C-alpha cells in the first residue's frame, strides 16, 4: 500500500530537490528503446495516484502516458457474432500527464485523471523520453508489447525544439500478438466438421481451431482458438488447413483463405477478419490487432498470425524528416506449404503533435500481408492464403502535412500450385484501408489534482526551463488565461532570495508564454512564476532549474540584471584590472581583484546594457 504523507511534507521535499530541466539545450543523439514502461497495479483517482509494480526510472516532472490495453466485452455466442464488441469499457482510454511526486511505488500526477481505469485490464504507465533537441542516429524502437507483463508497444518522445531523423522511429510488429502456431494431429472429419467459432486453441489432438490473434479483449481458455474474431484480433483457421484472418484497428481485417480441396478433408471454415474498433472521437487509441494463425497438420512451416503495429507519440515544434520512416506496421502472416496460412497483423497508431515539418518523412501504419499458401501440386488438395491486416491510424495536430503517409490494408495471401481438380478457390481477403485524422487534440487533463494542487497553480498546465546558447529559456502554458492578469518571472539569487526578472501581461486568448534569461549564472539557475489573478490573488509555479556551463572562461557575475552591487567570481591576476564599460567601450569603473567572490559596488548607472571586461574576456551586464 502507498505511504501517505501530509502535503506540507511533499512541498518541503520538492523545495529541497527542485525540478530537473531537460539538459543544457543541446542536441541529444538517441537510439534503441528510449522509454520506460511500468505496470499499474492500483489507482487512487481522488489523489491522481497510480501505484506501479516497479517505479525504477520514473522521475518527478517527467511526462507520462497512461494507457489501458485491455477490457473490452465481446459476444461469446457460437455464431458469426462471436467477438462482436458489446462494450469497449476502458479499453483504449489514454491520457498524457506529468509526475508531481513519487513516494515509494506511488506516482502522483499534477492533474486529475480523465478516465476510470481498470488495473485488471493491463493498464501501463509509459514515461516520455524528453529532450531539448533529439537526433535519431540509429533506429529508435518500441519495447514490444508483453501481454503477460502488461507493458510495452509504445514510443513516446517529446522535444522542446525538434526531432531530426537520420534513422527510423520503428514500432513495426510491436503491438498485439498474432495467433501462435501449433501443429495439429491429422484427424479431421467431413461428416462432423469443426464448424464452431471458438475452441480451446491449445488442444492439438486435433486442434479444431487455430489460435486467434490478440486484441483489446481476453477470451476464455476455451475460446482462444477458432474462426471467430475476438474484437480487433483475427480469427484462427478451423480444422482442416483453413487460414487465419487479419487483425484490425479502426478498420476491419481481411478474411482468411479457405480449404477448397476436392479430396480428403475439404471443408471451408476460414478465420474471420478482426473487427473495426471505435476511437470514441479520439478519446481511445489502440495498438494494431494480432492476426489469426493458420490450421496446420504437416508442420512444414510456422503459420502463425502476424503481430499488430505499436503506438508512436511524437511531440515537437519541428520534425526534420530526411526521407526517414516513422513506422508502426503490422507483421506479415506465416506462409504455408500444404497447410493453412497465418493472417497479417493490423497497423498501429501514430500521433504527430508537431507544429511544422522540414523535408519529407515517411509515416506509415500499414497492415501486414497475409501469409502465402503453396499447395505443392498435391492432387485434389488446395488451401487459401491468410487474410490481410487492416491499415492503422495516423493523427496530426494540424492539417495533414506535405509528407508521405501510408495506411494501406495488408494484401491477401496468395495461393500457388493449385491442382486443376480442386473445387472453386476460397481466396483470402485484403485488410481495409486505415484512417488519417487531422486537427487532432491529444488527451490530457487540465484540472489540478488535490494532492499536487499547491505545487501547480490553478490553470498552469506546465512550466519548463531549458538552457539554450548561454541563455535560459522558460516556457509555460495556462488552460484559462481569462482568469489571470499577469505572470511575474522570478529568479533565486546567491543569497537564496527570489528577485524580480520580468512581467508578462496575460492576453485573454493566448495560452502559451515564454521568457529568455539572457544572463544566467554559471551552474544551476532557479526560476519560478508568480501568477497574479484578476481577483488579486497570487500563486506560484513549481521551481524549475536550468544549468549554464558559463559564458566566457574565467568571468562570472551575479546577479544579472543588477542594481547597486554585483558579485564577481573567477580566477584573476591582480596585475590586470576588471573594468565596467558602457557599450561604446568607455571605462566607467576599474578594480583589481586578487580573490573571489568579490563584491563590486556600482556607481549610480542609468538602466541599460554594460560590459564587464577582464583581459580578453567580457560579459554583458544589465542594469535595471
Q: What is the distance between the alpha carbons of residues 453 and 520, in angstroms, rounded to a whole number?
A: 29
Q: What is the distance between the alpha carbons of residues 464 and 455, in angstroms, rounded to a whole number?
A: 14
pLDDT at 308: 98
Query: In this structure, are strands 393-396 and 349-358 parallel, antiparallel, or unpaired?
Result: parallel
Q: What is the distance between the alpha carbons of residues 25 and 131, in angstroms, rounded to a whole number?
A: 8
CA dihedral 478, 479, 484, 490 (to 10 degrees): -10
* Beta-sheet strands, E only, within 424-510: 435-437, 460-468, 471-478, 484-492, 498-505
CA angle in degrees (0–180, nearest 5) for 167-31-150: 115
Residue 332 C-alpha cell reads as 506479415
Q: What is the distance between the alpha carbons of residues 127 and 48, in angstroms, rounded to a whole number?
A: 16
Q: What is the distance between the alpha carbons of residues 102 and 50, in angstroms, rounded to a whole number?
A: 10
pLDDT tens digits along 224-281: 999 999 999 999 999 999 999 999 999 999 999 999 999 999 999 999 999 999 999 9
Please choose, from the candidates 333, 427, 348, the residue with its C-alpha nearest in 3D space to the C-alpha of residue 390. Answer: 348
Query: In this structure, are strands 129-141 and 106-109 parallel, antiparallel, or unpaired?
Result: unpaired
In the three-class reduction of DSSP (H, G, I as helix; E, B as strand; rest coil), residue 460 is classed as strand
Better pLDDT: 601 or 448: 601
pLDDT tens digits along 33-64: 999 999 999 999 988 999 999 999 998 888 99
Residue 13 C-alpha cell reads as 521535499
In the three-class reduction of DSSP (H, G, I as helix; E, B as strand; rest coil), residue 418 is classed as coil
Provide the CB-side half-sphere exposure for 160 (13 A, CA).
24
Whole-model pTM: value is 0.76
pLDDT tens digits along 425-463: 999 999 999 999 999 999 998 887 877 755 555 567 888
Query: In this structure, are strands 49-52 and 106-109 parallel, antiparallel, or unpaired?
Result: antiparallel
Q: What is the distance between the alpha carbons of residues 552 and 556, in angstroms, rounded to a whole number?
A: 8
User: Quick one: pLDDT band at residue 624, thresholds 50, 70, 90?
Assistant: confident
Q: How many residues does the chain have?
A: 624
Over the Cα atoms of the chain, what is R_g? Answer: 31
* 86-100: average pLDDT: 95
Name the average pLDDT for the chain: 89
Q: What is the distance between the alpha carbons of residues 422 and 469, in angstroms, rounded to a whole number?
A: 73
> Looking at residue 390, what DSSP letter applies?
P
Distances in Å between the Cα of 441 and the Cα atoms of 64, 438, 445 are 16, 9, 12
574 burial class (0-12, 13-18, 19+ CB within 10 angstroms)? exposed
Q: What is the distance between the alpha carbons of residues 596 and 584, in angstroms, rounded to a whole number?
A: 27
DSSP string, 66-128: EEE----EE---SSTTTT-EEE-TTTTBEEEEEEEEEETTEEEESB--SS---GGG-EEEEEP
User: Quick one: pLDDT band at residue 406, thresholds 50, 70, 90?
Assistant: very high
pLDDT at 2: 38
Query: In this structure, are strands 544-548 and 523-533 parallel, antiparallel, or unpaired?
Result: antiparallel
Q: What is the distance between the alpha carbons of residues 347 and 573, in angstroms, rounded to a whole number?
A: 67
CA dihedral 55, 60, 65, 68 (to 10 degrees): 40
pLDDT tens digits along 357-385: 999 999 999 999 999 999 988 899 999 99
pLDDT tens digits along 461-501: 888 888 766 678 899 988 878 888 999 999 888 777 788 99
User: Quick one: pLDDT band at residue 568, thresholds 50, 70, 90?
Assistant: confident
Q: What is the distance between the alpha carbons of residues 320 and 166, in angstroms, rounded to a whole number?
A: 9
- 151: pLDDT strictly greater than 90: yes
Amino acid at each position: 500500500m502507498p505511504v501517505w504523507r501530509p502535503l506540507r511534507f511533499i512541498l518541503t521535499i520538492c523545495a529541497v530537490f527542485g525540478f530537473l530541466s531537460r539538459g543544457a539545450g543541446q542536441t541529444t543523439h538517441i537510439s534503441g528503446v528510449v522509454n520506460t514502461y511500468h505496470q499499474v497495479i492500483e489507482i487512487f483517482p481522488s489523489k491522481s495516484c497510480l501505484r506501479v509494480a516497479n517505479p525504477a526510472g520514473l522521475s518527478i516532472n517527467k511526462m507520462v502516458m497512461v494507457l489501458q490495453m485491455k477490457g473490452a466485452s465481446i459476444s461469446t455466442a457460437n455464431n458469426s457474432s462471436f467477438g462482436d464488441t458489446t462494450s469497449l469499457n476502458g479499453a483504449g482510454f489514454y491520457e498524457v500527464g506529468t509526475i508531481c511526486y513519487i513516494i515509494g511505488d506511488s506516482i502522483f500526477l499534477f492533474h486529475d485523471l480523465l478516465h476510470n481505469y481498470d488495473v485488471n485490464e493491463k493498464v501501463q504507465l509509459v514515461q516520455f523520453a524528453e529532450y531539448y533537441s533529439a537526433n535519431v542516429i540509429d533506429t529508435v524502437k518500441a519495447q514490444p508489447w508483453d501481454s503477460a507483463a502488461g507493458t510495452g508497444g509504445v514510443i513516446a518522445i517529446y522535444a522542446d525544439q525538434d526531432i531530426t531523423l537520420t534513422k527510423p522511429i520503428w514500432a513495426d510488429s510491436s503491438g498485439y500478438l498474432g495467433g501462435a502456431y501449433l501443429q495439429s494431429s491429422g484427424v479431421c472429419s467431413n461428416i462432423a466438421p469443426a464448424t464452431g467459432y471458438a475452441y480451446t486453441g491449445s488442444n492439438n489432438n486435433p486442434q479444431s481451431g487455430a489460435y486467434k490473434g490478440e486484441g483489446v479483449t481476453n477470451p476464455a481458455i476455451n475460446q482462444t482458438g477458432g474462426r471467430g474474431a475476438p474484437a480487433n484480433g483475427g480469427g484462427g483457421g478451423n480444422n482442416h488447413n483453413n487460414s487465419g484472418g487479419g487483425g484490425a484497428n479502426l478498420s476491419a481485417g481481411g478474411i482468411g483463405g479457405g480449404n477448397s480441396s476436392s479430396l480428403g478433408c475439404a471443408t471451408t471454415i476460414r478465420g474471420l477478419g478482426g473487427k473495426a474498433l471505435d476511437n470514441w472521437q479520439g478519446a481511445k487509441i489502440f495498438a494494431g490487432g494480432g492476426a489469426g494463425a493458420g490450421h496446420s497438420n504437416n508442420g512444414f512451416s510456422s503459420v502463425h498470425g502476424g503481430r499488430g503495429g505499436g503506438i508512436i507519440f511524437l511531440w515537437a515544434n519541428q520534425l526534420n524528416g530526411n526521407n526517414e520512416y516513422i513506422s508502426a506496421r503490422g507483421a506479415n502472416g506465416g506462409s504455408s506449404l500444404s497447410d493453412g496460412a497465418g493472417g497479417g497483423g493490423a497497423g498501429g497508431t501514430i500521433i504527430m503533435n508537431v507544429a511544422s515539418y522540414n523535408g519529407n518523412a515517411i509515416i506509415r501504419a500499414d497492415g501486414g500481408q497475409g501469409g502465402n499458401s503453396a499447395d505443392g501440386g498435391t492432387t485434389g488438395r488446395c488451401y487459401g492464403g491468410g487474410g490481410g491486416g487492416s491499415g492503422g491510424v495516423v493523427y496530426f495536430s494540424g492539417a495533414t502535412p506535405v509528407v508521405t503517409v501510408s495506411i494501406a490494408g495488408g494484401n491477401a495471401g496468395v495461393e500457388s500450385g493449385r491442382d486443376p481438380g480442386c473445387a472453386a478457390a476460397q481466396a483470402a481477403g485484403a485488410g481495409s484501408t486505415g484512417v488519417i485524422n487531422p486537427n487532432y487534440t491529444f488527451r490530457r487533463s487540465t484540472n489540478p489534482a488535490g494532492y499536487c494542487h499547491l505545487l501547480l497553480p490553478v490553470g498552469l498546465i506546465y512550466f519548463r526551463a531549458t538552457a539554450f546558447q548561454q541563455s535560459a529559456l522558460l516556457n509555460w502554458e495556462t488552460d484559462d488565461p481569462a482568469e489571470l492578469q499577469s505572470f511575474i518571472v522570478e529568479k533565486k539569487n546567491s543569497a537564496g532570495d527570489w528577485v524580480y526578472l520580468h512581467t508578462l501581461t496575460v492576453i485573454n486568448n493566448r495560452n502559451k508564454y515564454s521568457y529568455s534569461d539572457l544572463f544566467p549564472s554559471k551552474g544551476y539557475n532557479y526560476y519560478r512564476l508568480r501568477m497574479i489573478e484578476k481577483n488579486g490573488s497570487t500563486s506560484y509555479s513549481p521551481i524549475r532549474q536550468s544549468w549554464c556551463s558559463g559564458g566566457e572562461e574565467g568571468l562570472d557575475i551575479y546577479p544579472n540584471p543588477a542594481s547597486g552591487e554585483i558579485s564577481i567570481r573567477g580566477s584573476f591576476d591582480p596585475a590586470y584590472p576588471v573594468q565596467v564599460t558602457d557599450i561604446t567601450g568607455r571605462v566607467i569603473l576599474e578594480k583589481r581583484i586578487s580573490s573571489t567572490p568579490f563584491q563590486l559596488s556600482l556607481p549610480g548607472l542609468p538602466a541599460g546594457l554594460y560590459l564587464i571586461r577582464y583581459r580578453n574576456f567580457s560579459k554583458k551586464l544589465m542594469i535595471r
